Amino acid sequence: MIRRRSLLKLSAGLTVSGLLPGLANGNSESQHLSAGLKLLFDTDIGSDIDDAVALAYLLMQPSVDLLGITTVTGEARKRAALASRLLELAGQAVPIFPGFEAPREIATRQPIAQQAVKLSSAQLLGTDQPHNPEAAINFMADTIRAHPFEVTLLAVGPFTNVARLFEKYPDVSRLLKALVIMGGKYSDYPTPWGPSEWNGIIDPTATALMFAKAKCPIRAFGLDITWQVSMDAQQVSRAFATHPLLREVRRWSEVWFAERDALHFHDPLAAVSLVDPSVCTYKYGQVAVDLSPGREGLTEFLAANPQGTTTSEPPMVEVAASVNANQFFDQYFAPFTIRAISARS
């Protein structure tokens, strides 16, 4: 577990000028991501607690204009209810659409949203009713088309919704400003599951389709990097005591810590990169997704040539190569501290 020299040494003067190279054109021209960032958030909130940690940050970040939330994998409506609870605490109204629950070709490996047990019966009202997942896909497409070249899609769950979006509306990915994902593994950094990563293997066909059909800049955060940023239960208890949103996430984390000993900031790292991309260094190349028996959903990274250009398919991907844990934690907790200070002023 990464040691932090000053976990709660939070800066009120952090820069919010995010950059993402123009990878769709195979060059290094930069695009501003965070100045009035229009964002769609696709999430499997309710399983790993890190989705809720990421959403809490996005709701507190003034540079982020959250246009909508879509949920994915089992009990998608309960996942939507969890997102709705955080929106309520943040005093925000954002459209939420439950999306696809089952993978495209394999049996589901994530059938329930465990943290939904922390919601009241009133908050869960109606979550046992069926829904039309295509409504989530249509919403995503309509939102992107309404703001061409302005919307970033942050996908931090299995990629069933994203693949369906690109499949149903082939033109839409060209209209995205960027696709930012937490998923895959792009180096041999040791993690408990070897070359595999959960989001990638839950729906392998969707993972492959997403990378193959995306026609926009892509930034990917693999398990090899996100695994390096973590807290244990006691650290979470202390650090998440300072704000109502964090306290609610801490309450949900009891479900997570009942079976695990650490919170890894997988999805929050991807979220923070939208505001401060310098929390990581990056490498450029192509990503292939293995669909062969026994390796379904594993990602393979091929680094670009020294000029960083290529004319072959699939398109170039910007992949996180290292992380500054201290900088990440400063950036993550900063908006909660700033707002708390403002409220007392």
Q: With contact defined as beta carbons under 8 Å apart, do 195 and 292 qualify?
A: no
Task: Label residue 153 exposed, middle or buried (CB < 10 Å: 0-12, 13-18, 19+).
Answer: buried
Task: Label residue 277 exposed, middle or buried (CB < 10 Å: 0-12, 13-18, 19+).
Answer: buried
Q: Write out pLDDT tens, residues 12-48.
A: 222 222 223 333 333 333 334 455 899 999 999 999 9
For the ranges 128-137, 198-207, 309-318, 319-328, the lowest mean pLDDT is seen at 309-318
- The kind and range of the H/E element at 174 are helix 172-175
**148 Rama class: left (phi>0) / alpha (psi -120 to 50) / beta:** beta
Asked whether residue 135 is domain-assigned, the answer is yes
Q: With contact defined as beta carbons under 8 Å apart, do 113 and 89 qualify?
A: no
User: Roughly how many angstroms between the first and final C-alpha of the chain, as a whole number?
Assistant: 36
pTM of the model: 0.89
Q: How many domains does the chain have?
A: 1
The count of residues in the chain is 345
Report the chain's mean pLDDT, rounded to a whole number.
88
Asked whether residue 269 is domain-assigned, the answer is yes
Considering the chain, what percentage of its residues have pLDDT values greater than 70? 85
Return the pLDDT at 265.
98
Q: Write out pLDDT tens, residues 140-178.
A: 999 999 999 999 999 999 999 999 999 999 999 999 999
Residue 148's domain comprises 19-344
**Euclidean distance between CA atoms 38 and 266, whole angstroms:** 21
Residue 73 per-residue DSSP state: S
Q: Averaged over 212-218, what is the pLDDT?
A: 96
DSSP state letters, 37-70? EEEEEEE-TTSSTHHHHHHHHHHH-TTEEEEEEE
pLDDT at 270 over 90: yes
Q: Write out pLDDT tens, residues 169-202.
A: 999 999 999 999 999 999 999 999 999 999 999 9
Other Cβ atoms less than 10 A from the Cβ of 327: the count is 16
Asked whether residue 209 is domain-assigned, the answer is yes
Return the pLDDT at 305.
75
Q: Report the CATH number that the domain containing residue 43 is assigned in CATH.
A: 3.90.245.10
Picking from 274, 315, 322, the residue whose alpha carbon sits closest to that of residue 32 is 274
Asked whether residue 2 is domain-assigned, the answer is no
**Euclidean distance between CA atoms 326 and 330, whole angstroms:** 6
Asked whether residue 74 is domain-assigned, the answer is yes
Q: Write out pLDDT tens, residues 46-94.
A: 999 999 999 999 999 999 999 999 999 999 999 999 999 999 999 999 9
Picking from 163, 336, 344, the residue whose alpha carbon sits closest to that of residue 240 is 336
Task: Label residue 313 exposed, middle or buried (CB < 10 Å: 0-12, 13-18, 19+).
Answer: exposed
Q: Write out pLDDT tens, residues 302-320.
A: 998 765 455 455 668 999 9
Angle (CA) 222 277 253, round 5°:
55
Asked whether residue 167 is domain-assigned, the answer is yes
Return the pLDDT at 11.
28
Return the pLDDT at 28.
33
Return the pLDDT at 71.
98
Asked whether residue 3 is domain-assigned, the answer is no
Angle (CA) 253 202 206, round 5°:
130
Name residues whose C-beta falls within 8 Å of residue 294's C-beta, 6 or more positions apart in sequence. Answer: none
Tokens of 48: 């790993």
**Euclidean distance between CA atoms 122 and 339, whole angstroms:** 29
Asked whether residue 139 is domain-assigned, the answer is yes
Return the pLDDT at 340.
52
